[in-house]
A and B are shown apart, each in its own frame.
Chain A
């Protein structure tokens, strides 16, 4: 299951990344393997999405979210 497939309010745990370049940027922002992610909101035009991770809110595009593989 990818993060981009999660519905609003759903929770997942990060397993791994499918893109190395993106993983470096996401990890710096607190998206680490083992962290719990909750999808908070989806922007009015369906993209980007807002997630809760590491105690704060982060927004990212669906394309970036699709590189995050959940357990």
Chain B
């Protein structure tokens, strides 16, 4: 006997599918991968009253089993292949009650696959409010499928849904919807025999999709190709006929079960809001104002929690140095790992806030309005209105954003979006910007309300978006493609954000950031500490000997000697040698060899920069004086000239470098995965590096 019941959760986008997923599973979720494809597989666990264990697989939202994007292919793969490890015992279809007609199209397709089904009729409260009269029992009888009315946002009906799952039937009893075999009788028969299928609709779907289905063998594919030639099968014509037949069935069902009394209320409210939010002038004013408010609040709200985290780490380091025995291991732990970690943990409040804001924009339906407003502009530079979402998402992290470009159907528009998304300032750059801005930009208010530091930060973000758009425009002229792009997108009605979902998004993003970035940062911190604490041959002994000599002991106090010794040791360590070797190349940008070390270590991940700075400046200096990284960097002096290392010119030059350079292994990996061609990540890396060098050079030479 199987120990758990596996349920596939499917539905159109914007139906509240993820709210139901969260309501059923809570924080009991994990993200995995479907074998062979790069679609994120969200699984959640739950338990029924009769202690049956549930494993719920959240499939990507789709309007139809015919995929329009790479992500949607997985829905048919999972539901049609009995050998797929995610093949469900039961399909839970989430349908939006206020928009039943279009939602039922997906239902009729899945019903014909022959799996047991339960329909969760979501947003019943809104349907009632807009005077729609849905005969739920009549609908259930007509389709011969359990239909559970719910209002997931108000958590109404979730218990009933669990009960319906408990008393499910293990066999599919739904009435058939259309006569599938009529569409292509000979072809369906041939494919069914060839692949040993017992379901005609699975055979028909395969006839349409066989080139993209991962579980078919090469011989099977060429066999299907031959059948289609033989029977003169035309995919689009057949699909059109099928869709019309399905809507005839749906209209028939709805005629008996749903009475519309008036125009939906929610839609009227939405229209009124849209009158302003997508207005010629106000639309853009509001959009800019929203972005502005987001960045001001990220700075303002995170200040206090960041200060707390910083204090805790300084306190930990003090405790450590007080109670742990002195020696190399303690130094490694405190100056290496702890210093590196503190440099990164401090940015958790900002990352959490940024992800929260983006999820609110998505959840309310505002993001699709931005897409709608920007499409024309984006098209001018070779992008698509849908590129706005990855680009705004790029403010948080390029990796999931590049994966979200799968919604862009046109190849050229998608490639350009992928190529420019890493230019948009991501959250990993935020720590670098905040640190450097706080060093060189005074904390002052202009005109009473505008925080000067916040303004500097926002300019960097605006610049990154402008750069992305300009690069896209250049690439539009370079990349050649014949296929024309299109843009067909639902505008969901405005809804209040679901704070529970926002909370879960925040929690998940911080968890991923801490575990993923944390691992890299600890590893890099350790390597860096070793490189900075040891040097080639016997240079360190020579330095020790030099400072032990009588003449120096008399000239300087002991603390001064310690400081001079430490900085000379760092300079002749392996890290110092490495930094020095690239110094000639980066000197025109205003960087010294220490920044050079940071550039090398943050080559794989930008966020390492702050950790590196923390480690380098902990090694270099008086270990007993526990200051924050910021204070240490502010006091840093060039060993040759004695001038401060971080001036307005060098700090802004450094920010330019981090703004444009592709210092993220994860992004390069995901670009390779998405484009399946090593050419694209390489081109991207090169053009970004050139851009970074030139921008830094220009900024430094102008400001110095």
Measured CB to CB, the closest approach of chain B to A17, in angstroms, equals 9
Q: Is the CB of A46 within 8 A of B376?
A: yes
Does B267 lie at the interface of the complex (its beta carbon under 8 Å from any beta carbon of A)? yes
Could you jot down 7 A-B contacts, CB within 8 Å? Answer: A21-B236, A27-B247, A30-B102, A48-B376, A56-B267, A58-B489, A58-B491
Q: Is the CB of A45 within 8 A of B376?
A: yes
Which of A24, A43, A48, A55 lies in contact with B264, CB distance below 8 A? A55
Does B240 lie at the interface of the complex (its beta carbon under 8 Å from any beta carbon of A)? yes
Does B373 lie at the interface of the complex (its beta carbon under 8 Å from any beta carbon of A)? yes
Report B-chain residues with C-beta under 8 Å of the C-beta of A32: 243-244, 247
Report B-chain residues with C-beta under 8 Å of the C-beta of A36: none
* Complex Cα–Cα for A21 and B278 (A): 29
Does A1 lie at the interface of the complex (its beta carbon under 8 Å from any beta carbon of B)? no
Does A54 lie at the interface of the complex (its beta carbon under 8 Å from any beta carbon of B)? yes
* Complex Cα–Cα for A24 and B237 (A): 8
Report A-chain residues with C-beta under 8 Å of the C-beta of B240: 20, 23-24, 27
Measured CB to CB, the closest approach of chain B to A57, in angstroms, equals 4
Report A-chain residues with C-beta under 8 Å of the C-beta of B385: 48
Which of B279, B376, B488 lies in contact with A64, CB distance below 8 A? B488
Q: Is the CB of B486 within 8 A of A61?
A: yes
Knowing A24-B243, A44-B279, A48-B375 are in contact, say whether A56-B490 is a contact too (CB < 8 A): yes
* Complex Cα–Cα for A58 and B66 (A): 19
Q: Is the CB of A40 within 8 A of B271?
A: yes
Report A-chain residues with C-beta under 8 Å of the C-beta of B68: 25
* Complex Cα–Cα for A26 and B63 (A): 11
Measured CB to CB, the closest approach of chain A to B373, in angstroms, equals 6
Identify which of residues 489-512 in chain B touch chain A, using a CB-to-CB cut-off of 8 Å: 489-493
Q: Is the CB of B102 within 8 A of A54?
A: yes
Closest to B234 in A: A20
Give a binary string over A3-38; 1 marks a CB under 8 Å from any B CB, 0 the rest: 000000000000000001111111111101100000
Knowing A41-B278, A45-B377, A46-B376 are in contact, say whether A25-B271 is a contact too (CB < 8 A): no
Closest to A49 in B: B372
Does B619 lie at the interface of the complex (its beta carbon under 8 Å from any beta carbon of A)? no
* Complex Cα–Cα for A45 and B240 (A): 32
Measured CB to CB, the closest approach of chain A to B96, in angstroms, equals 8
Q: Is the CB of B239 within 8 A of A24?
A: yes
Q: Is the CB of B373 within 8 A of A44?
A: yes
Q: Is the CB of A59 within 8 A of B101?
A: no
Q: Is the CB of B376 within 8 A of A27?
A: no
User: Which residues of A pack against B, CB within 8 Å?
Assistant: 20-30, 32-33, 40-41, 43-48, 50, 52, 54-61, 63-64
Q: Is the CB of B491 within 8 A of A59?
A: yes
Knowing A22-B486, A27-B240 are in contact, say whether A44-B284 is a contact too (CB < 8 A): yes
Report B-chain residues with C-beta under 8 Å of the C-beta of A48: 372, 375-376, 385, 487
* Complex Cα–Cα for A66 and B280 (A): 23
Closest to A28 in B: B64
* Complex Cα–Cα for A44 and B102 (A): 28
Knowing A43-B375, A47-B376, A48-B376 are in contact, say whether A60-B283 is a contact too (CB < 8 A): no
Measured CB to CB, the closest approach of chain A to B383, in angstroms, equals 13
Q: Is the CB of B490 within 8 A of A58?
A: yes
Does B618 lie at the interface of the complex (its beta carbon under 8 Å from any beta carbon of A)? no
Report B-chain residues with C-beta under 8 Å of the C-beta of A33: 244
Knowing A28-B64, A46-B376 are in contact, say whether A57-B267 is a contact too (CB < 8 A): yes
Top 7 closest A-B pairs, CB basis? A45-B376, A57-B491, A30-B102, A44-B280, A27-B243, A28-B64, A56-B99
Q: Is the CB of B372 within 8 A of A50?
A: yes
Interface centre among A41, A57, A58 (most CB of B within 10 A): A57
Does B125 lie at the interface of the complex (its beta carbon under 8 Å from any beta carbon of A)? no
Does B92 lie at the interface of the complex (its beta carbon under 8 Å from any beta carbon of A)? no
Measured CB to CB, the closest approach of chain A to B262, in angstroms, equals 12
* Complex Cα–Cα for A58 and B385 (A): 14
Identify which of residues 248-280 in chain B touch chain A, using a CB-to-CB cut-off of 8 Å: 260, 264, 267, 270-271, 274, 278-280
Q: Is the CB of A29 within 8 A of B247?
A: no
Does B98 lie at the interface of the complex (its beta carbon under 8 Å from any beta carbon of A)? yes
Knowing A45-B377, A47-B376 are in contact, say whether A59-B63 is a contact too (CB < 8 A): no
Does B105 lie at the interface of the complex (its beta carbon under 8 Å from any beta carbon of A)? yes
Q: Is the CB of B487 within 8 A of A60?
A: yes
Report B-chain residues with C-beta under 8 Å of the C-beta of A60: 486-489
Closest to A20 in B: B236
Report B-chain residues with C-beta under 8 Å of the C-beta of A54: 99, 101-102
Q: Is the CB of A29 within 8 A of B490?
A: yes
- Known pairs A29-B490, A56-B490. 16 more at Cβ < 8 A? A20-B240, A25-B486, A25-B488, A29-B102, A29-B488, A30-B105, A32-B243, A44-B376, A45-B377, A48-B376, A50-B278, A50-B372, A50-B491, A55-B100, A59-B368, A60-B486
Closest to A65 in B: B488
* Complex Cα–Cα for A52 and B243 (A): 20
Identify which of residues 540-590 in chain B touch chain A, using a CB-to-CB cut-off of 8 Å: none
Q: Is the CB of A58 within 8 A of B99?
A: no
Report B-chain residues with C-beta under 8 Å of the C-beta of A44: 278-280, 283-284, 373, 376
* Complex Cα–Cα for A43 and B491 (A): 12
* Complex Cα–Cα for A27 and B68 (A): 13
* Complex Cα–Cα for A60 and B491 (A): 10
Q: Is the CB of B64 within 8 A of A43?
A: no
Q: Is the CB of B487 within 8 A of A20?
A: no
Report A-chain residues with C-beta under 8 Å of the C-beta of B283: 44
Measured CB to CB, the closest approach of chain B to A13, in angstroms, equals 15
Interface centre among A22, A43, A58 (most CB of B within 10 A): A43
Knowing A20-B237, A23-B240, A46-B376 are in contact, say whether A30-B486 is a contact too (CB < 8 A): no
Give a binary string over B370-386; 1 marks a CB under 8 Å from any A CB, 0 the rest: 00110111000000010
Q: Is the CB of B376 within 8 A of A30?
A: no
Q: Is the CB of A29 within 8 A of B376?
A: no
Measured CB to CB, the closest approach of chain A to B244, in angstroms, equals 7
* Complex Cα–Cα for A64 and B487 (A): 8
